[in-house]
């Protein structure tokens, strides 16, 4: 029974990573975990480390001058460069809105000489894989809600994830979601401050 459970975990992890042909997702996840465990110094206590991170994001008390490594900042820049198709982890807001079945009026997402606004792509292949392979109904509900309206603050998303039960919280799908929708989404906004 335990061997079967470990095999399913490995298959899920490998299956979702296979959605990314570039290999950047795996590199970025490893860099995120390295940053988190180096910064918080709770040893191997994954739940305490992740929940502390989420609590600091939710309360807007995260020290962004000390947490991200140079490697993670560089990976955030790479994500910006490859945000060019419907399966990217981030997508141009205008493209995300164009995927909607109904037309909604809203402000322009880019103007002359402005950088296009990027939004986390909740409908993309990797996130859909995480959602579809997760055993957590709470996690699936969070992603389903965000698919409809991705314009939700990172602090609110962190609050919702924080309260997922421990048994489900440790799943690789949820940890990956935290890495990309919370951590790298923040880094995508602040990376220019790091020169």
Q: Where are the domains of the chain?
A: 2-194
Q: Are strands 118-120 and 90-92 parallel, antiparallel or unpaired?
A: antiparallel
Task: Please list, in sequence order, all residues whose beta carbon lies within 8 angstroms of the beta carbon of residue 118, skipping any fewer than 6 positions away.
Answer: 80, 83, 90, 91, 92, 93, 188
pLDDT in tens, the chain (195 residues): 444 333 333 444 457 888 888 899 999 999 999 999 999 999 989 999 999 999 999 999 999 989 999 999 999 999 999 888 777 899 887 777 666 543 344 444 444 456 678 888 999 889 999 999 999 999 999 999 999 887 788 999 999 999 999 999 999 999 999 999 999 999 999 888 887
Instruction: With beta carbons less than 8 A apart as the criterion, state whether 116 and 79 touch.
Output: no
Q: pTM for the full model?
A: 0.83
């Amino acid at each position: 029974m335990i061997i079967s459970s470990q095999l399913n975990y490995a298959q899920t992890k490998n299956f979702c990573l296979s959605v990314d042909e570039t290999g950047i997702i795996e590199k970025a996840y490893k860099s995120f975990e390295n940053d988190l465990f180096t910064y918080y110094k709770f040893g191997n206590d994954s739940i305490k480390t992740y929940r502390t991170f989420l609590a600091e994001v939710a309360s807007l008390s995260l020290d962004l001058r000390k947490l991200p490594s140079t490697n993670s900042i560089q990976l955030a820049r790479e994500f910006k460069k490859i945000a060019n198709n419907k399966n990217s982890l981030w997508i141009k807001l205008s493209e995300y809105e164009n995927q909607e079945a109904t037309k909604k009026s809203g402000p322009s997402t880019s103007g002359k000489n402005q950088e296009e606004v990027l939004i986390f792509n909740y409908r993309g292949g990797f996130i859909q894989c995480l959602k579809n392979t997760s055993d957590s109904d709470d996690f699936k509900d969070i992603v389903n809600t965000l698919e409809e309206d991705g314009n939700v603050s990172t602090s609110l998303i962190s609050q919702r994830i924080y309260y997922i039960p421990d048994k489900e919280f440790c799943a690789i799908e949820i940890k990956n979601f935290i890495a990309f929708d919370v951590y790298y989404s923040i880094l995508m906004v602040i990376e220019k401050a790091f020169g």
